[in-house]
Every structure is written in C-alpha cells, then in structure tokens.
C-alpha cells in the first residue's frame, strides 16, 4: 500500500480509502465487517462514511453504516489505527427525515454528536460538509444555473466558527468539503485566511473517474496552489467502469440493477467511452476496473481514492489497483478517448 498525508497535517493515510455507503443496504453488517478486516490487513487505514449512509437514503436505515463501523471498532479495538472521516448531510428533499436546518450551528452540533455516538468514538479525524447548502451544480449537474428564488444567505463564516468550536473540543481534528465547486472552495479558504483561528478546509471529496474529469477544470489548480487534496469518489462510476453493464447486462444485486435511477454514468456517451476504455485495458492485459482505478491513483492532485465494493473479490481487485503503474502508452490511449468523448458523465 502507498501512503500520503492529509494536506498540511501529519495525518498519514493510505492512497486507497475504504468507502462504506453500501453497508446496511446492499451489504449486511457481517459483510461490512469482513470488508474492514480485509482492507485493514492490506494496509488500508482510511475509512470514509457519512450520516446519510447507506444509500439510497431512507429513514428506516438512517446512519446504519456508521453503526456498523462503530461495532467493528468495539469488536476489533482498532479505532486508533484508522483515520476516520464522516459527513453531515446537506439540505435536500431526500434528507428532510434527518433534519431541515442545513448547516446552522445547532444542526452541525447535533450531527457530530450523533456520528460520534454511532461510531463509538470520541473524535473524528476528518469531518466534511456532504454537499453545499446553496443552490449550485453538483450531483450530475454540468453547469450552474442561478435560482431566482434561492433563500440561502452566505453563512460560511458561521459554519467555520461552529467547526472551530468542535476542533477546540477535540471532537473533530480536520475539516473538508464534498461535492463543492471552485467558488465554494475559495470562499471557505477566504474566510479562514481573513480570520486566523478558523479551521481551514484541507480536502474536497468530489467525483472523479475516467468518465468525469471535471475536477481538472478549475479545482485541480486550486488543489495545487492552495493544497486542497482530492478524495475521489465514484472512481468506477457506480461500477460502470468495471465493464459489468456493457452489452446491456444487468448483473443481479448490482447497484444500477437495483436502483435504475442511479443512471449518472449510463448515458449513451458514457457507454461509448466505457467501451473504448475497455478495449484499451484488454489490449494491455489489464482489467477495466484496475486500469480505471490506477488512472485515478496516478493523478498529482489525489490524496486518496475512495473505493467501494459489495463483494470481497471486488474489494481485492480494487485495493490491488494501488500496485499498478500505467505505462505512458496506456495513458496516451486514455487521453485519446478523453479528447474524443470528454466528461460524458458529470
């Protein structure tokens, strides 16, 4: 396993991060615990979760994933060996059963206390805002369209002040963003710079894969110049980049089979690009999944690649991508496809 550190900290994390959002819905608790055991034994020391998980979100399964992780900590005694990240859910129709306060101080405090209780820990190493409160482009929206009826008022300083309190209390160590735009990242950095003592965002958890490289437009320069590390999620595009859906296949128990509305990476152009990438992988003796993950692992702005799996075999293949170095020829072929079909699945 390769390791790096969370930007501007001495917190050492594996280049592969274990994603957990299927545990409690697509995976049972015992399967989730088996994944944690295997990943840990392979050198993965970074786990990412959220109060929203498992997905799709439902009030009857609220925060089951955090409970599964907490039970593993209690059983294994490995809390001190793991860098643990979680997130507060943002406002949306599908999170109204959680709360409707957005990121008001009371909401953040409630969310953190709930996560700590379920995770059976007294601190989280990284705490993230799952998506912005304001109306902007995320979750598959390519461009920004202003909402003339938006009620959001800029409360970013207040959010950071609340997080500052939690850092001072030792309940969270570092803070990060998720599903954020260049404007949002710079706005948070601006407040932290203008008011010494406020916590500085150190990571951004955004989608990044062969089918969605929009992070490279704007955010990659911010990452480089302001030292904000990418935690790449959906590096396989809901499993699309494993190739298992090619040819119209619908594998039993696969995410897109179970939840057809999860079609973000399944449009005609994304399928065309996936077919082209599959040809490159086959030509060079690679599995499509490992080539796709190795590409993400190779990016200079990456801090950690969040992989997810529903079976141990998938997990083995995904973690194994950490040992793969793509040749210049493979990278050149990937760029040819990208130039022809750029970012088909925002």
pLDDT at 254 (0 to 100): 84
Q: Is 227 exposed, middle or buried (0-12, 13-18, 19+ CB in 10 A)?
A: middle
| Residue range 177-182: mean pLDDT, rounded | 98
Residue range 289-318, pLDDT digits in tens? 999 999 999 999 999 999 999 999 999 999
pLDDT at 187: 98
Given a cut of 90, whether residue 261 has pLDDT beyond it is no
- The SS3 call for residue 155 is coil
Between strands 3-5 and 12-14, the pairing is: antiparallel
Inform me whether the pLDDT recorded for 92 exceeds 90. Answer: yes
pLDDT score for 150? 95
What Cα–Cα distance (Å) separates residue 56 from each residue in 67, 180, 202?
A: 17, 20, 28
The pLDDT mean for the chain works out to 97
Q: What is the mean pLDDT of residues 153-175?
A: 98
pLDDT (tens digit, 9 = 90+) per residue, 201-256?
A: 999 999 999 999 999 999 999 999 999 999 999 999 999 999 999 998 888 878 88
Contact assessment for residue 91 and residue 51, using Cβ atoms and an 8 Å cutoff: no
Look at residue 251 in the predicted model and tell me its pLDDT: 86
Whose structure tokens read 């809901």?
238
Residue 105: how many other CB atoms lie within 10 Å: 15
DSSP-assigned letter for residue 322: G
Residues of the chain above pLDDT 90, percent:
95
Give the per-residue pLDDT at 83: 98
pLDDT in tens, 44-80: 999 999 999 999 999 999 999 999 999 999 999 999 9
Q: Hunting for tokens 């979100």 — which residue is that?
A: 57
For residue 195, the model assigns a pLDDT of: 97
State the catalytic residues: 53
Query: What is the mean predicted confidence (pLDDT) over 136-164?
Result: 96
Over residues 177-184, mean pLDDT: 98
Cα separation of 45 and 82, whole Å?
Answer: 5
Percent pLDDT > 70 in the chain is: 100
**Would the pLDDT of 23 be above 90?**
yes
Span 140-147, mean pLDDT? 94
pTM of the model: 0.97
């Amino acid at each position: 396993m390769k390791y790096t550190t969370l930007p501007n900290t001495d917190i050492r994390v594996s280049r592969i991060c274990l994603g957990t959002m299927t545990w409690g819905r697509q995976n049972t608790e015992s399967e989730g615990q088996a994944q944690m055991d295997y990943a840990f034994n392979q050198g993965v020391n970074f786990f990412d979760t959220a109060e929203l998980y498992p997905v799709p979100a439902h009030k009857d399964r609220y925060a089951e994933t955090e409970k599964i992780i907490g039970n593993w900590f209690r059983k294994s005694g490995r809390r001190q060996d793991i860098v643990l990240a979680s997130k507060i859910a943002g406002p949306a129709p599908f999170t109204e059963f959680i709360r409707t306060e957005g990121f008001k101080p009371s909401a953040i405090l409630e969310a953190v206390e709930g996560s700590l209780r379920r995770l059976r820990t007294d601190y989280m190493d990284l705490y993230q805002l799952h998506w912005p409160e304001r109306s902007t482009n995320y979750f598959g929206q390519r461009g920004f369209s202003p909402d003339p009826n938006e009620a959001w008022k800029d409360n970013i300083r207040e959010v950071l002040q609340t997080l500052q309190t939690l850092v001072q209390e030792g309940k969270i160590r570092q803070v990060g963003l998720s599903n954020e735009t260049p404007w949002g990242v710079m706005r948070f950095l601006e407040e932290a710079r203008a008011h010494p003592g406020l916590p500085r965002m150190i990571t951004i958890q955004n989608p990044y894969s062969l089918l969605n490289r929009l992070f490279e437009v704007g955010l990659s320069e911010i990452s480089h110049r302001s030292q904000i590390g990418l935690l790449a999620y959906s590096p396989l595009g809901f499993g699309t980049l494993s190739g298992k859906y090619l040819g119209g296949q619908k594998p039993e128990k696969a995410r897109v089979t179970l939840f057809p509305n999860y079609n973000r990476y399944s449009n005609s152009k994304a399928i065309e690009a996936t077919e082209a990438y599959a040809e490159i992988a086959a030509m060079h003796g690679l599995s499509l999944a490992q080539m796709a993950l190795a590409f993400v692992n190779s990016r200079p702005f990456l801090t950690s690649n969040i992989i997810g799996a529903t079976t141990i075999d998938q997990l083995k293949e995904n973690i194994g991508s950490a040992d793969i170095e793509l040749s210049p020829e493979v990278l050149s072929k990937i760029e040819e496809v990208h130039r022809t079909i750029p970012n088909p699945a925002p």
